[in-house]
Chains A and B, each alone.
Chain A
Amino acid sequence: MPRIGRLIRPAGLVPYVQANTLMHDLAEARLHGDGVDTLILLEHPPVFTAGRTSKDEHVVWTDERIRAAGAELHSIDRGGSLTFHGPGQLVGYPIVDLGSRPEALAFVRNLEEVVIRAAADVGVPLHRSQVQTGAWSGDRKVCAIGVRLMRMRVSLHGFALNCTTDLSWFDAIVPCGLGHTGVTSLSELAGRAVTVDEMAPLVVRHFDDVFDISLVGDERADMSSRCYESPSTRPRSVRE
C-alpha cells in the first residue's frame, strides 16, 4: 500500500521567501511526526539562490543589475551551488521523511528518475550525468537538483525543471559552478511550448510511482491564507 502524501500546488508566482518558510515549517512538523510527506509544486518570480558550495565569482551580473532586472538573490541552506528560479520553471519541494537511516543519494536519484520519466512523457529524452546531479540533455542541464536534510531525516529543497523558462536569466550566473556546459529547457528541446501546467501532473504521477507515495491535495491550493510574512516568522535559513 502506498503511503498517502499531500500535494500543495499554489497558483501564480510564489515569492521565494514565502515558499522557503513553508517548506521549513512543514519539514519541522514532519520531523516531529506531524503531517505527511508533501510535495510542493510551484513557480517563483525571478530569483537566484546560492547553495552552500556557491562561489561569489559564479555570479556574473552585479547585485544592482540583478535587482534592476527584477530578480532577488538569496543565499540558502541547500546543497549544491548557484541556480535560477523563475516563471516557466516547475519547482518541486519534496518534504519527505527518509527515516532514521536515510538513503540520501538514492533519494536524489529518485528525484532524477521522476523528472526523466515526466520528460519522456512529452517526448524529450533526458539522462543523468556521471558527475553531476540533475537531468540533462547532452551536456545541457534541464533540471537542477539540490537537497538538504533537516536533522538527517526530512528532505528540504528539491528540483527545478525548465519548461518554458526564459533561459537568458542564466546568463547572469555560472549555473551550479559549471563552466562550459549550458542550460536548456523542455520547450527548447521539444521544439514547442511545454508548459509548467503540462508537466506538473506528469511529475505528480511519476512521483507517486517512484516514491510509492500517493499524493492527494488541492490541485490549486491558495497560499494566501497562510501568513508567512510577519517579521517574527522571518525565514531562519535565508542568510543575508
Chain B
Amino acid sequence: MTSVKMPQLGETVVEGTILKWLKAEGDTVALDEPLFEISTDKVDTEVPSVAAGVLTKILVPEGTTVGVGTELAVIEGGEAAGEVPSERPAMSVAEAPAAAPPPDRGKRSQILSPLVRKLAAEHDVDLALVVGTGTGGRITKSDVLNHAAARSAAPTAPAPSPATVPTRAGVTPRTAVAPPAPATEPGGEEVVPVSHIRKLIAEHMHASLQVSARAWNAVEVNMENVARLRERSKDAFKEQEGFGLTYMPFVTRAVIEALLEYPMVNSELRGDQIVVKHHVNIGIAVSYEDGLIVPVLKGADAMNLIGLARGINDLATRARAKKLLPDEVHGGTFTITNPGPFGSLISVPIINQPESAILAFDSVEKRPVVIDDAIAIRHMVYLSLSWDHRVIDGALASQFLSRVKQNLETWDFAEDLAL
C-alpha cells in the first residue's frame, strides 16, 4: 500500500489545492502516470503517480487546499517508486518522513535551489558537508545558514583544544555539524531566515533609494487644538464608532487638503513625464508581526474626518489580521507613516515608489514653546516629509508642510467630527 501525499513545490510553498483528480477510485495507475493536478499561487502542475497499482481511495476532494505532506489518496497492489529502480531520482512524496537515515551523499539529489547555492557561496559553505533536512534529505537554506553559524561559532566555543577543532570550511567533520533545529548559537547570535515579506520590503525600500533623489525637511506643529478636541471627544467617539480616536485622521485630513493645494507633491514620475494626480489615495504604513504593509485608502479626498477614521481603522485592523484584498495595497498617491506610537521624535522615511513624497507623523508630546514672547506648554509634534528631488523642490516641500501645519493649527475640526 502506498500513501499519496501533497508534494512540495519548493521550500516556501506550504500548501496546495487539488485542482483535479485524473484517475477515479478503482482505476489502475502506472508509475509516473499523471494522477492529479495541483495549484499553488500561480503555478499549476500535474503530479505523476509515485506507485503502480490500483487507486483504492481518494481522501481529499477536488478544490480542497491542504498542507504539504497531507495524505491525499491510497494506491494498493503495486510497488512504490522508492522501491523501483528508475533513471530519475525518485519523487519525494512516498518517502518516509523524518525517521529516514542520514542521507547518503552518493544518492542524494543534486538539485540545489539557486538560493541555497548563493547562500553557500556567500558563506563559503561546502555543500557536500551539509546535512540536508528538507524533503528527501534535500539541503534547505536553513541547513546552509545553520551550518555556517555552527562553523563560525566553533572557534569561540569553549572546551576542546584548537588542535582537535578544525574550523576551516571543508575540513569540518560531518559529526561536528550542529543539528539544524536550534537557531541560537553559543556565540550569542541567532540565524533567522529572511521571510518572503522581509525580502519584498528590502527590495522595495532599496529600489526606492536607488531610483529617487531623496531630500527631507520638517516642521513643528502646535497640536494643542487637536489634542483638546480629541480629549473632549474621545469617549463619545469610542461609544459611537467602537474604536479609539487617534491623531491620524486629523493629520490625514490636513494632508489631503494640502495635497490638493500642491498637487505636484501628489504626483508620479513616469519616464520623462510627471503624472500629477488630482485625486488622493492615501497609503497608510501599518506594521504587523511579519513586517510592514501599506494599505491604501482610496478616494480619501472625498472623506470627512469620521470617514477617514473609519477607513484607516478598517485597513489597519485588516492589515494586521492579514485580510487585505489584493487591490487594497496598490494605487496609493501619497503615503503617511506614523512611528509616533513607538516613541519616535523625528523620522526620515523612504519614499514608497512610485509616489513622490511620504510624510512621517511622530510623537505628540507636551513641550515648552514660545507664544507671544511667553513660554507656554503645548502639545507639539514634528511632521517631516521625505520627497523626491527629481519632481519636487525644497520651496514646494516647505510650502506643502507649512500648509499642513497651518491646517492642523487653525482648522476647527469639531464640526467635521460632528459627534
In the complex, the answer to whether B327 meets A139 with C-beta atoms within 8 Å is yes
Q: Give the complex CA separation of A77 and B43 in angstroms.
A: 11
In the complex, the answer to whether A145 meets B42 with C-beta atoms within 8 Å is yes
Complex partner residue of A131 from B46, B47, B298, B326, CB under 8 angstroms: B326
The verdict on A108 contacting B42 (CB below 8 Å), with A131-B329, A151-B32 known, is: yes
Chain B stretch 1-20: residues in CB contact (< 8 A) with chain A = 7-13, 19
At the interface, yes or no: B102 with Cβ under 8 Å from chain A? Answer: no
In the complex, the answer to whether B46 meets A80 with C-beta atoms within 8 Å is no
In the complex, the answer to whether B91 meets A138 with C-beta atoms within 8 Å is no
Chain A stretch 116-135: residues in CB contact (< 8 A) with chain B = 123-125, 127-133
**Which B residues are CB-close (under 8 A) to A105?**
9-10, 12-13, 40-41, 43
In the complex, the answer to whether B45 meets A104 with C-beta atoms within 8 Å is yes
In the complex, the answer to whether B45 meets A149 with C-beta atoms within 8 Å is yes
**Which B residues are CB-close (under 8 A) to A146?**
42
In the complex, the answer to whether B39 meets A53 with C-beta atoms within 8 Å is yes
Scoring B residues 274 to 286 as 1 if CB is less than 8 Å from chain A, else 0, what string do you get? 0000000000000
**Which A residues are CB-close (under 8 A) to B200?**
128, 130
In the complex, the answer to whether B136 meets A179 with C-beta atoms within 8 Å is no
Q: Give the complex CA separation of A41 and B19 in angstroms.
A: 29
Who on chain B is nearest to A186 by CB? B271
Max chain A C-beta neighbours (<10 A), residue from B10, B19, B211, B353: B10
Complex partner residue of A129 from B8, B135, B330, CB under 8 angstroms: B330
At the interface, yes or no: A2 with Cβ under 8 Å from chain B? Answer: no
At the interface, yes or no: A221 with Cβ under 8 Å from chain B? Answer: no
Q: Give the complex CA separation of A212 and B121 in angstroms.
A: 15
At the interface, yes or no: A52 with Cβ under 8 Å from chain B? Answer: yes
At the interface, yes or no: A178 with Cβ under 8 Å from chain B? Answer: yes
**Which B residues are CB-close (under 8 A) to A150?**
45-46
Chain A stretch 75-99: residues in CB contact (< 8 A) with chain B = 77-80, 99
Max chain A C-beta neighbours (<10 A), residue from B41, B44, B203, B273: B44
In the complex, the answer to whether B43 meets A149 with C-beta atoms within 8 Å is yes
Q: How large is the interface on A (under 10, 10 to 19, 20 to 34, 35 or more residues)?
A: 35 or more
Q: Give the complex CA separation of A151 and B39 in angstroms.
A: 13
**Which A residues are CB-close (under 8 A) to B273?**
191
At the interface, yes or no: A13 with Cβ under 8 Å from chain B? Answer: no
The verdict on A152 contacting B48 (CB below 8 Å), with A101-B136, A101-B138, A105-B12 known, is: yes
Smallest CB separation, A164 vs chain B (Å): 14
**Which A residues are CB-close (under 8 A) to B46?**
149-152
Chain A stretch 50-66: residues in CB contact (< 8 A) with chain B = 51-53
**Which A residues are CB-close (under 8 A) to B13?**
104-105
In the complex, the answer to whether A127 meets B353 with C-beta atoms within 8 Å is yes
The verdict on A106 contacting B44 (CB below 8 Å), with A101-B135, A178-B327 known, is: no
In the complex, the answer to whether A102 meets B10 with C-beta atoms within 8 Å is yes
The verdict on A103 contacting B88 (CB below 8 Å), with A149-B44, A179-B327 known, is: no
At the interface, yes or no: B57 with Cβ under 8 Å from chain A? Answer: no
In the complex, the answer to whether A139 meets B330 with C-beta atoms within 8 Å is yes
Smallest CB separation, B416 vs chain A (Å): 28
Smallest CB separation, A232 vs chain B (Å): 21
Q: Give the complex CA separation of A178 and B331 in angstroms.
A: 13
Q: Give the complex CA separation of A130 and B109 in angstroms.
A: 32
In the complex, the answer to whether A189 meets B270 with C-beta atoms within 8 Å is yes
**Which A residues are CB-close (under 8 A) to B12?**
105-106
**Which A residues are CB-close (under 8 A) to B176?**
none
The verdict on A127 contacting B331 (CB below 8 Å), with A78-B44, A100-B88 known, is: no
**Which A residues are CB-close (under 8 A) to B353?**
125, 127
Q: Give the complex CA separation of A145 and B28 in angstroms.
A: 35
In the complex, the answer to whether A132 meets B135 with C-beta atoms within 8 Å is no
Scoring B residues 310 to 328 as 1 if CB is less than 8 Å from chain A, else 0, what string do you get? 0000000000000010110
At the interface, yes or no: A147 with Cβ under 8 Å from chain B? Answer: yes
**Which B residues are CB-close (under 8 A) to A139?**
327, 330-331
Chain B stretch 42-70: residues in CB contact (< 8 A) with chain A = 42-48
At the interface, yes or no: A29 with Cβ under 8 Å from chain B? Answer: no
**Which A residues are CB-close (under 8 A) to B272?**
191
Q: Give the complex CA separation of A106 and B200 in angstroms.
A: 13
Scoring B residues 193 to 226 as 1 if CB is less than 8 Å from chain A, else 0, what string do you get? 0000100100110010001000000000000000
CB<8 Å pairs between A and B, sample of 9: A79-B44, A99-B109, A100-B88, A101-B109, A104-B45, A108-B41, A127-B204, A149-B46, A179-B327
Interface, chain A (partner B; CB < 8 A): 33, 51-53, 77-80, 99-108, 110, 123-125, 127-133, 136-139, 145-152, 178-181, 189-192, 212
Beyond contacts A105-B13, A149-B44, A152-B46: 5 other A-B pairs, Cβ-Cβ < 8 A, are A105-B9, A130-B197, A151-B46, A152-B47, A180-B331
